[in-house]
Amino acid sequence: MMKTVTGGLKYFNEVALIRGKQLGMDAVLLNRPPLWGKDEWSEKAVQWMVDYCAKFGMIIAGVENIPVEWFTPIVLNYPERDECIERYLRIITAFGKAGIPYLGYGFAAGNVWRTDLAAKGRGGCRCMQYVKADENTKGNQLVYKNVIHGEMPSREELWNNYAYFLKAVLPHAEKEHVGLMLHPSDPPLPVVHGVPRIFCSIEDYKYAYELSGHSPAWGLNLCLGCISQMGGKDAVLEMIRYFGPKGKIFQVHLRDVIGSGESFTECFLGEGNYNPAQVLCELENCGFNGYVFEDHVPMIHDDDGYHTIGRAHAVGYIQGMIDMMKYLIKK
């Protein structure tokens, strides 16, 4: 049976870990944790991270991303690509030795894009939103270090870059027993603010699976918000039914949105493009037994910057559905 995990933690401090434990979880998913070392995540630093979380009874279910300046050169084939891949291989080694099972990545330059961070949602809550038509006037309201420069590659060149990356890292990931989780392009559009992307349709993921040679180290960090922007609940169900039985869904982002890639607003679970209960049942039917976690929840009134109240609501929502499934299965 699948399990819940508190996700998206960057600053895995005592308060965050205690809250996660109090909400009934035993694992965390980190996102670009600020480990010491300007140019490296050493084996020592990664092991310290694992040991620190263990003090609070929490294991690390995975890490979603490495710093953008370490990965963008791989995506866009900058001169330092091979140097960055060598660093990536060392990170995989460190994860394998520390027992961290998954390392996530999004093979898209330009990062996540949102044109509004305070669109009005249910009861006046604030939600993140993306509108393609607002790209030039509003820009990306999420702040990232800009490491993009030079002429942009074609879609074919990006696929070649992805194939090069897989060939370089999958054998080592297999050896270290570390799964590499592919996150959808967010938003899943062919071009975002002049930067091309390749993971924009279900066929793109099927093609990537073939490029991987069906490696056991290749799989998905299945963000249902992004996937539903490609075709609503039908796209979500098709992805689960295709990749689930193959064991290629490593973890799941239970994020909900209203709308499509060109224009969408993130929302509370159950308000958006798919039925969360149906999705969890489909995952169960496909044999998925990994972690499901909340992601990009709305900002509830008087909440903090991590959206603690909103995340607690989402975690409880997910746990309730899982408990109901357990009950019905036993019955």
Task: Yes or no: say if 155 and 196 are a contact pair by the CB < 8 Å rule.
Answer: yes
Task: Please name the amino acid found at residue 267.
Answer: C
- Comparing CA positions, the residue from 223, 178, 232 lying closest to residue 205 is 223
DSSP states of 53-90: HHTTT-EEEEE----HHHHHHHHHT-TTHHHHHHHHHH
C-alpha to C-alpha distance for 199 and 75, rounded to whole angstroms: 12
pLDDT at 209 over 80: yes
Instruction: Pull the structure tokens for residue 195.
Output: 């930067």
Q: Band of the pLDDT at 38, cuts 50, 70, 90?
A: low
Q: What is the pLDDT of residue 36?
A: 67
Q: Residue 299's beta-bridge partner residues? A: 126
Number of domains, the chain: 1
Per residue in 84-130, pLDDT (tens digit) is 999 999 999 999 999 999 999 999 987 899 999 999 999 999 999 99
The HSE-up count of residue 143 (CA atoms within 13 Å, CB side) is 0
Q: Which domain holds residue 314?
A: 3-330
* Average pLDDT over the chain, rounded to an integer: 93
CATH of residue 316: 3.20.20.150
- Comparing CA positions, the residue from 298, 274, 282 lying closest to residue 125 is 298
Task: Yes or no: say if 107 and 165 are a contact pair by the CB < 8 Å rule.
Answer: yes
Helix ranges (DSSP H) in the chain: 14-22, 43-54, 68-76, 81-98, 135-138, 155-176, 202-211, 224-228, 232-243, 276-285, 308-330
pTM tops 0.85: yes
Task: Yes or no: say if 64 and 8 are a contact pair by the CB < 8 Å rule.
Answer: yes
Per residue in 153-185, pLDDT (tens digit) is 999 999 999 999 999 999 999 999 999 999 999
